[in-house]
Amino acid sequence: MSHDLSLSREQRGKFRRILASTLVGNMLEFYDLFIYGFLAAILAKAFFPTGDAYTSMLATAATFGISYFIRPLGAVVIGKILQGFSAGGEFGSTVSFVTEHAPRGMKGYFASYQVVGIGLATGLASIVGLGTTRLMTPETLLSWGWRVPFFIGLAIVPFGYWIRRRVDETPEFEASRHEQSPLRETLANAKARIAAAIGLYSLAASTNYLLGVFIPLYAQKVLGLSPADSMLGAMGYSVAQIFLPPVFGALSDRVGRLALITAGTLLTVALTMPAFHLMVAQPTVGVYVLCITGLTACVMVFQGAMPAFVAELFPHGTRTTCIAIVHNLTFAVFGGLSLMICTWIANETGSKFVPAWYVMVTAVVALTCILWFRLRYQPARIEENALNNA
């Protein structure tokens, strides 16, 4: 990596272990959820055989959403007990960990690898989904084949655990005081920032799940593509999510986080509706993949800068707790429920553009919060010599 040339050999080795741990941890955290979304049509028939396709799909989507409301409780508990780096790989802990390890002027670059980890989960899930839909008959997939992708996820766990064991505690965590109650201090001093961060983060959640998870189902039901071809859109999303965040994360170190977040949000607002209209008007595999990949490139402009921006909103003592609350609540409300909401609205209205409208609504929320941050934003200080003190 070109960005670590100013680091010593020992420091470069430390960062490679940190980034590998981060990538594997986030991939493990999101893989099973993405697989569930990709196989939603199959799981609806397997678990909710109501005889009505819409009712079965709505129940499957609701189950997906409910799973997310269990996570904020875990975020609070983990954030309160483990302010440093937890073996569980929770997003709040890893964002804090990587940001606090990163040297001055490179925090945006290194923090952006959080997004890359989610992209790896999307990519692995889409490849596995493509393989199972092409290698198995619909009958085999329905009877027992849907279990195979989940077993593949379990097989990665020992490797991830081995990598996570090789990473040290964050220097800021070791050097700073431990808050007696991060949750209490968080609720007392950071309510407005948490609320604004949730609104800003809503666009990241909606685009992750509608463009990355819901899109194969959309391609099958609305565009008329085959299950195998529908996975190609998710693969295009994952390619952009793997390679682009470090570019924009590094750029945020030079031009500012909020500038890139604003630019990416405006690009997403401008191009989402035209992209969906083009897919509906020309429902071919090429147009579908091109539109989803192009939209993802716009989304990555703000997602690449987002992890460091959110981390810098909060002081060290409550950073992990705050990030965990923001991430998990946002992904529960705006991400986890998006499949159920879009399925229900599409059935009620008959519109083919429900995912696009959903993204647009969250974009308006995000723009409102961007304005608030431009007026009120004061980044918390992150120790510049954290790595040198390690």
Whether the pLDDT of residue 154 is over 50: the answer is yes
Q: Tally the domains of the chain.
A: 1
Q: What single DSSP character describes residue 104?
A: T
Does residue 73 form part of some domain? yes
Does residue 387 form part of some domain? no
Which pLDDT score, from 0 to 100, does residue 385 have?
38
Does residue 180 form part of some domain? no
CA–CA gap between residue 179 and residue 319 (Å, rounded): 11
Which pLDDT score, from 0 to 100, does residue 78 have?
42
Residue type present at position 374: R
Pick the closest to residue 296 from 340, 359, 344 (CA basis). 359
The CATH number for 248's domain is 1.20.1250.20
304 — pLDDT class (breaks 50, 70, 90): very high
Q: Which domain holds residue 40?
A: 9-175+186-376
Among the ranges given (26-30, 90-94, 118-122, 364-368), the one the predictor scored with the smallest mean pLDDT: 90-94
CA-to-CA separations, 354 to 127, 241, 389, in angstroms, rounded:
26, 23, 51
Phi, psi of 169 (to 5 degrees): -70, 155
3-state secondary structure labels for all residues of 365-388: HHHHHHHHHHHHCCCCCCCCCCCC
Does residue 17 form part of some domain? yes
Which pLDDT score, from 0 to 100, does residue 43 have?
83
Query: Which has more confidence, 276 or 209?
Result: 276
CA–CA gap between residue 159 and residue 254 (Å, rounded): 35
Does residue 52 form part of some domain? yes
Does residue 2 form part of some domain? no
For 202, other C-beta atoms within 10 Å of its C-beta total 24
Does residue 198 form part of some domain? yes
CA–CA gap between residue 133 and residue 39 (Å, rounded): 9
pLDDT digits (tens, 9 = 90+) for 203-229: 999 999 889 888 998 999 999 999 889
Cβ pair 225, 350 in contact under 8 A: no
Which pLDDT score, from 0 to 100, does residue 16 have?
77
Which pLDDT score, from 0 to 100, does residue 223 have?
95
Whether the pLDDT of residue 252 is over 90: the answer is yes
Does residue 382 form part of some domain? no
145-167: average pLDDT: 74
Query: Which has more confidence, 272 or 84?
Result: 272
Cβ pair 244, 305 in contact under 8 A: no
